[in-house]
Amino acid sequence: MEKLTPKEKARELYESYLELVPIGFTRQYRFEAIKAALLCVSEIQLFGNRLKIREPMMYWGMVKKELHKIKEQL
């Protein structure tokens, strides 16, 4: 399996939550999808930090930054 860039992973997470939004979704639903993706990443970071895992957490930090960029574009 090929590793995704942080930007690609952020887009993948956002789109996976966006798929749960009804057809004809509004801007508010898009915000909810991005919030869910951000929550997911925060939980991954919390878990990794508890285990003192450094390298992968740097990746997830970059994914979180990319999700914030997506949020700013909504």
Q: Please write the tens of the pLDDT for every residue from 6-62.
A: 999 999 999 999 888 776 667 788 888 999 999 999 999 999 999 988 888 899 999
Distance CA 39, CA 35 (A): 6
Distance CA 34, CA 55 (A): 24
68 has pLDDT over 70: yes
Give CA separation, 35 vs 2, 42, 51, 52, 53, in Å. 26, 10, 25, 25, 24
Give the global pTM: 0.87
Q: What are phi and psi of 25, to 5 degrees?
A: -60, 150
Q: What is the pLDDT of residue 54?
A: 83
> Among positive and negative, which fits the CA dihedral 60, 46, 29, 17?
positive
Q: What is the pLDDT of residue 1?
A: 61
Q: What is the pLDDT of residue 21?
A: 76
